[in-house]
């Protein structure tokens, strides 16, 4: 007979069921148990990047660390990696797990002559440079930028005799281990990474004759997947928080790859429930606007009207609050934190243009939601606000972020905005608002230009060793830069340590940021050409845009199953399409 864990706990906690009082007491204990939504998996290192000794004196048999381990130690001391520190030198090894991950480290120590624990230092890093760096007090000017903010990545701990210890969690790919005690030998059977991830299938897919675009699509999907932890996070090392503006490109990628997931609903509800009005989500007015826009877009893909109605009371009050921030001239005057993205954060004129656009996009989203939930009063409010905002047309200031938002809000023509965005190519692109720049290029019919920029900008991160996309990337800094998977070279620009600005100076920068996953959603929508035309994907338009591609194929999740498409360019230049959809989904081809 099979028993649940709860039943087993009752069995052991309540021998004989002594009394009803005892039963209720222990049931209260069991009721406090919260099941972890997250799955664990172990990963063996892919390579040894560096070790402090190559003469087999202080670091012996290190290749053992690259072999599979089943998790069970034995009393045999054979075939172990041995680290030995003395007064002259310290034993150290730097491991590469081959791919960015979220989780911790497991160290399995073998039997040795002395049972006293051995003190070691563990440093986790998203880059080799970070794993090799000293953690500093970032309040002291000039002290560097490797920190323990949000997630501890620099630990000192004791390793037991014939035992296993776990430490973490953070975002990392590399781990350095140093033996701190002197005149000791530490035999180690295994150092494994512990990957924590949400065990859900990849329902969406993208494959073309351009392997670089394929890798970018997959990397964006993996980036957002790592950030789908208990909630939808901004980053897995730093900013393990729910930022309600940043989630929009993440949600669009999740719609594309995973379909309807509970973590999106949890995170949107978290923003609502932790922001009593008249507050702004995360203290930033635009983030409350993005919350409304995200709900509209989430509903278009999943069509859950009951969930949408759960937002009605809060959303209606929030719309009222936003309306009070429109002046008689139709200009936004939002209070709270005035923010679009970091590259524009010191340009108030650009911020105004962006916020004016987001106000328009918000009331358009509110009007759509009002229609779906049959809220006539809300629809009237949104239409009146849109008429008022229509009195004012801000400038683009020749800025790519401003141009993109003004175009998406239909304040300026898409072709006008596209000229600004295409100028300089990937220069002045950004990982967050780059998604909206790409959306504007699609609106202007500039699909090949957008794919070129995706290949140049997001592809350059791959060239520099990225396995997930970054919080920020200055395209010009790629020149003469040391990739993140190589040891630092003082004669070259260090892409992780030397760059950055604002909150992401140097090594503090996150190299796995969910807001950078926009190309995944964009490629599926505009190259595969799958666009939702009716809530819940009941009607989709399939309009492929291959640019210079010879073929593209992929899948797209719907509430009824996956859509499959394959588009192939014929010799005469026409596109032949093979399309398979669930019977509940109506297809418009154009």
Please say which residue of 169, 197, 225 terminates a domain: 197
Please say which residue of 478, 500, 527 terminates a domain: 527
Residues whose CB is less than 8 angstroms from the CB of residue 474 and which lie 6 or more positions away in sequence, other chains included:
499
Task: Read off the pLDDT of residues 322-337 as tens digits, 9 standing for 90 and up.
Answer: 999 999 999 999 999 9
Residues 493 and 426 in one domain: yes
How far apart (Å, rounded) are the C-alpha atoms in residues 508 and 147?
Answer: 6
Residues 147 and 172 in one domain: yes
Please say which residue of 499, 527, 555 terminates a domain: 527
Residues 431 and 456 in one domain: yes
Task: Read off the pLDDT of residues 145-187 as tens digits, 9 standing for 90 and up.
Answer: 788 888 889 999 999 999 999 998 999 999 999 999 999 999 9
Confidence category of residue 299, pLDDT binned at 50, 70, 90: very high
Q: pTM for the full model?
A: 0.94
Residues 209 and 289 in one domain: yes
How many structural domains are present in the chain?
A: 4
Residues 501 and 560 in one domain: no
How far CA 333 is from CA of 165, 336, 347, 367, in Å, comes to: 54, 10, 16, 21
Residues 488 and 368 in one domain: yes
Residues 273 and 297 in one domain: yes
Share of the chain above pLDDT 90, in %: 86
Q: Which DSSP letter does residue 39 get?
A: E
Q: Torsion-angle region of residue 276: left (phi > 0), alpha (psi -120 to 50) or beta?
A: beta
Which structure tokens are listed for 113? 């002559």
pLDDT over 80 (residue 139)? no
CB atoms within 10 A of CB 15: 8
Task: Read off the pLDDT of residues 452-468 as tens digits, 9 standing for 90 and up.
Answer: 999 999 999 999 999 99
How far apart (Å, rounded) are the C-alpha atoms in residues 112 and 128?
Answer: 31
Residues 190 and 325 in one domain: no
Task: Read off the pLDDT of residues 415-474 as tens digits, 9 standing for 90 and up.
Answer: 999 999 999 999 999 999 999 999 999 999 999 999 999 999 999 999 999 999 999 999
Give the CATH number, domain containing residue 429.
1.50.10.10
Q: What pLDDT is stored for residue 143 in this prediction?
A: 40
Residues 54 and 145 in one domain: yes
Ranking 40-44, 135-139, 238-242, 359-363 by mean pLDDT, the lowest is: 135-139
pLDDT over 60 (residue 18)? no
Give the CATH number, domain containing residue 91.
2.60.120.260
Residues 121 and 247 in one domain: no
Task: Read off the pLDDT of residues 502-557 as tens digits, 9 standing for 90 and up.
Answer: 989 999 999 999 999 999 999 999 999 999 999 999 999 999 999 999 999 999 99
User: Domain containing 49: what range?
Assistant: 40-197
DSSP bridge pairs for 40 = 196
Residues 182 and 215 in one domain: no
Residues 430 and 331 in one domain: yes
Task: Read off the pLDDT of residues 255-272 as tens digits, 9 standing for 90 and up.
Answer: 999 999 999 999 999 999
For the chain, the helix, strand and coil percentages under 3-state DSSP, each to the nearest 5: 40, 20, 40
């Amino acid at each position: 007979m099979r028993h649940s864990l709860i039943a087993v706990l009752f069995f052991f906690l309540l021998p004989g069921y002594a009394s009803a009082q005892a039963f209720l007491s222990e049931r209260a204990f069991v009721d406090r148990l919260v099941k972890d939504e997250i799955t664990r998996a172990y990963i063996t290192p892919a390579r040894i990047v560096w070790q402090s000794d190559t003469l087999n004196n202080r670091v012996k048999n290190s290749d053992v660390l690259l072999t599979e381990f089943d998790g069970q130690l034995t009393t045999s001391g054979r075939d172990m990696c041995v680290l030995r520190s003395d007064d002259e030198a310290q034993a150290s090894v730097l491991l590469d797990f081959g791919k960015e991950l979220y989780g911790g480290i497991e160290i399995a120590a073998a039997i040795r002559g002395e049972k006293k624990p051995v003190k070691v230092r563990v440093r986790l890093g998203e880059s080799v440079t970070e794993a090799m760096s000293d953690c500093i007090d970032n309040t002291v000017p000039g002290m560097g930028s490797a920190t323990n903010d949000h997630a501890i990545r620099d630990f000192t701990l004791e390793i037991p005799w014939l035992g296993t210890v776990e430490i973490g969690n953070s975002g990392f790919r590399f781990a350095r281990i140093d033996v701190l005690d002197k005149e000791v030998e530490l035999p180690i059977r295994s150092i494994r990474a512990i990957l924590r991830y949400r065990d859900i299938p990849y329902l969406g897919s993208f494959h073309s004759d351009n392997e670089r675009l394929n890798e970018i699509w997959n990397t964006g999907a993996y980036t957002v997947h790592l950030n789908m932890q208990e909630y939808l996070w901004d980053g897995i090392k730093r900013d393990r928080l729910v930022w309600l503006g940043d989630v929009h490109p993440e949600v669009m990628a999740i719609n594309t790859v995973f379909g309807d997931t509970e973590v999106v609903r949890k995170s949107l509800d978290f923003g609502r429930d932790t922001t009593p009005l008249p507050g702004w989500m995360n203290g930033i007015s635009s983030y409350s606007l993005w919350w409304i826009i995200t709900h509209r877009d989430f509903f278009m893909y999943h069509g859950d009207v009951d969930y949408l109605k759960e937002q009605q009371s809060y959303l209606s009050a929030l719309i009222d609050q936003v309306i009070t921030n429109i002046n008689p001239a139709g200009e936004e005057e939002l209070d709270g934190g005035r923010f679009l993205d970091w590259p524009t954060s010191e340009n108030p004129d650009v911020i105004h243009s962006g916020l004016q656009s987001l106000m328009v996009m918000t009331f358009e989203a509110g009007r759509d939601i009002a229609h779906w939930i049959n809220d006539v009063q809300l629809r009237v409010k949104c239409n009146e606000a849109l008429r008022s905002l229509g009195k004012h047309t801000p400038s683009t200031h020749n800025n790519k972020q401003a141009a993109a938002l003004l175009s998406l809000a239909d304040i300026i023509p898409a072709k006008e905005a596209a000229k600004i965005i295409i100028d300089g190519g990937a220069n002045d692109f950004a990982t967050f608002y780059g998604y909206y720049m790409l959306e504007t290029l699609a609106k202007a019919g500039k699909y090949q230009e957008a794919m070129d920029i995706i290949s140049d900008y997001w592809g350059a991160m791959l060239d520099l060793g990225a396995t997930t996309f970054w919080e920020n990337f200055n395209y010009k800094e790629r020149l003469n830069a040391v990739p993140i998977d190589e040891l630092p070279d003082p004669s070259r620009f260090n892409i992780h340590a030397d760059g950055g600005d604002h909150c992401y100076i140097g090594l503090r920068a996150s190299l796995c940021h969910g807001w950078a996953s926009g190309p995944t959603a964009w490629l599926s929508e505009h190259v595969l050409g799958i666009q939702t035309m009716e809530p819940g994907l009941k009607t989709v338009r399939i309009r492929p845009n291959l640019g210079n591609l010879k073929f593209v194929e992929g899948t797209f999740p719907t509430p009824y199953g996956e859509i499959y498409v394959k588009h192939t360019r014929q010799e005469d230049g026409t596109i032949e399409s093979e399309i398979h959809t669930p019977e509940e989904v109506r297809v418009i081809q154009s």
